[in-house]
Chain A
Amino acid sequence: MGEFKSGFFIGGEACEGRVLVVDDEPDIRKVVKMTLQKAGYEVLEAENGEKAIEVINSGENRLLLDVVICDIRMPKINGAEAVAYFRANYPRVPLIVLTGFPDTDMATSFLRQGVVDYLVKPVEGEKLRSAVARALEQRELAKL
C-alpha cells in the first residue's frame, strides 16, 4: 500500500487528502465540507452508513480514501455499525466520530475500537482540521 501518498494532485491543485463525511444532516455535511475544503482537502459525502459503505467500495475510493468522519445517530446503518464495518474491512483508514451526543461509554468503546478521535458537535473548524491532520499522520504511519 506504500505507493499511495497524501498530497496527490486533483485538477491541478494540491490535495491534502480525501475525506468522507458521513452524516444524515445535509447542513452538517455542507459545513464540514466548507471547513475542510479551506484546508485543501477533497470531501466526499454520504448520508448514512449504508451509503458510506457504498462510497468506500466504489472504484478508486477504496484506495484513495484517507479519513472517514462519521456521525452516530443515523438511519439505515447507523454510525456504530458503520464504524465496526470500517474497522473490520478498512483497518488502515482512520476514523473520526463526530456526534451530537456526548456519551463517555460510547466514546471509550469507539476509542478502544481504534477510532482516532471522538468529537462532539459543535466543533470549531480548527479543532476539526487538526483532528483530520492527526488522522492523516496515523494513516501515514500505518503505511510504514
Chain B
Amino acid sequence: MRNLLPILTVLVVLVGLWWAAVAPMNIRPALDTAERAGAQVIPEGSVPRRDISVWRLMRDNRDHVALGYDLKRPRLPTPTQVGQELWKTTGAMVMKGRTWSKRSLIYHSWITLRSTLWGFALGTTLGILGAVAIVYSRVADMSLMPWAIISQTIPIVALAPMIIVVSNQVGIEGRGVPKAIISAYLCYFPVLVSMVKGLRSPSASQLDLLKTYNASGRQSFWVLRLPASVPYLFAAIKIGIAAALVGTIVGELPTGAISGLGARILIGDQFGTPLAIWSALFAAAILAGALVTVTDGVQRLTLKRMGFRA
C-alpha cells in the first residue's frame, strides 16, 4: 500500500496531463468535423486555420473544443478511447472466443512475447558465456570486450533489415529467428558487462582461501565465482528483458512483419489509425511491466533462498 500511493499519484498526474493535451492536439480535426456538419467556425476553411495557433483556435471556438474528445480518428486519443480500444482488442475478443484472431492484441502480444523470450534466452546465454571467456582468458578480454562495446553503438534499426535479409538468405523461414537475434543483440550486452563484474567480484582472500584447499579452476568457478555473480546477473537480467522486448518490437518495425506489436504500430501509422498505435503501445508497456515484475519476483525469491540480505 505504501508503495502503491506514489505510483498512483504519478499515474493520475500523467493521465491528467494527457487529458489536457487532447484539446489542443485535436482542435484542428475537431473544427474540420464541426464545419463539415454545418456549424459556424472561426475562421472558416481548414487552410486559413493552418496559420493560426491552436490556442487561438480554442479561444475562438470554445463550443467545439469538446468535440476533440470524441473524434473517430483523433490526432491524440483520450485515455478512455485508448482504454476502450484496448478492451475491444483484448477482453472483448476473448469473450467472443476470438482470442487468437489476427485483430486481437493478445495474439500480437504473444507473437512479440515469444520472440522476446527466445531473444532473451539467446542473449543471456551469450552474455554469460562471453563473460566467462573474458574473465578466464586474457585474449578474450582484449579482443571480445572492445567489439562488444562497438556493437552497441550501431543503431539496431539500421541492423535489423540486414539481419532479416541475411537470415532469409541462409534459408531461415519466417521472422521468428531473425527477430530473436535482433532482440538478443540488444539484451546480451548488459548481461555480459554485469557478469564480467560479477565473476570478478570475489576478493583476493576469497580466492586465496580456495588456493589453500588446492581447489581446481573448475571448482572455484562453481563454488565461488558463479554464486558470487548471481546478484549482478539479476540486475542485468532486469535491464536485459526490457531491452529484449524493445529489440523484438524494433525487429518488427522495418521488416514488413504483419504480426506482433511492432507490426501493429507500423500498420496503425500507415493506415492513419492512431487508436491502433496507442493500444499497441500500451500493450507493449503492460507486457514490459509484467516481464520486469516477474524477473523481480524471481530475483527476490532466488536471492532470499541463497541467503543474500535483500
Do A and B assemble together?
A: no
**What is the interface of chain B, defined by CB distance below 8 A to chain A?**
none
